[in-house]
Amino acid sequence: MSEISPAALRGAVDLSSLRNRPAPAPAGAPAPAVVDVVVDATDETFGQILELSRTVPVVVDLWAEWCGPCKQLSPIIEKVTRELGGRVLLAKVDVDANPQLAQSFRAQSIPMVVALIAGQPVPMFTGVVPEQQVRDVFAQLLQVAAQNGVTGSLALGEEADSAEPAEEPPLPPLHAEAFAAIETGDYTAAIRAYEQALVENPRDEDALAGLGQVRLLDRVQGLDLQAARAAAADAPLDVQAQFAVADLDLAGGHVEDAFGRLLDLFAQLPSEERTPVRERLIELFGLIGAADPRVITARNRLSSLLF
């Protein structure tokens, strides 16, 4: 991205229903004290966050627990935000838990990152991007904010100053090895580490979930969405072609599209060719979670096709 402008998303994002109506703060004034520069935003609290954008840029990170690419991008955004020392607020939005916000931002795929300056949306990026690009876009965001008179700084409340950071338990060695490999983009090494963790403990649910996410990231790495869709359209019964588009859909947040594609494929294949499709569906169900209504619906359809 070479230029960002609030006008770029005009009409594409509708935040009118989420606004509070307090008197606007003077341009450049210090923002009210907050506990942290990284906050979880909800449908109910977003109006307050929108008002904060009058004095500091607010970066909105739309994510979901099942989204593997989100787990790559979100830590980078949080790291860069904290390094700016209160000049930017990061609002994290779980799209599954906050459907009104997801609809307002028209989040057709995630991760999706949008900024707010004086209540106006500013495009940043969709999908995973390198850390240096994140830094470049944040720097550009601050320039745009300054041009619009938004130059305040967040004052952290006493609660943040006095709170002792919770000490997280260390990761098991193989999990730590996998995580380090993911950070460097070595998905093959991460897969090996998670597979070894499952050999040592077949009931390691964290390793099983991590393995599924990394396998997905490894499969979509380097895929071209348009080329994959064209190949799948040309060969509707080509299992690998359909797998590629389903993986890309799932990684982009189009869960129902991914499930629907594979279930349609399963229904059309001869019974002796169905096993790989069933196994892939079960793997993707595990990524999203058994309690997710989209998984429940897809699993019921799969059962009806099996019997």
User: Is 58 an active-site residue?
Assistant: no
Query: Which entry of 49, 64, 67, 137 is annotated as an active-site residue?
Result: 67
Burial of 278 per CB tally in 10 Å (0-12, 13-18, 19+): middle
Alpha helices by DSSP H, the chain = 46-52, 68-83, 99-104, 131-147, 158-162, 173-183, 187-200, 205-220, 225-234, 239-251, 255-268, 275-288, 293-306
Token pair belonging to 206: 């964290």
User: Is 67 an active-site residue?
Assistant: yes
Token pair belonging to 127: 């999908």
Query: Which entry of 60, 70, 255, 288 is annotated as an active-site residue?
Result: 70
Helix (H, G, I), strand (E, B) or coil at 18: helix
Strand-pairing partners, residue 275, are: none
Amino acid at 131: E
Nearest by Cα to 106 from 121, 118, 117, 119 = 121
Contacts of 184 (CB under 8 A, 6+ apart): none
Q: Which residues are catalytic?
A: 67, 70
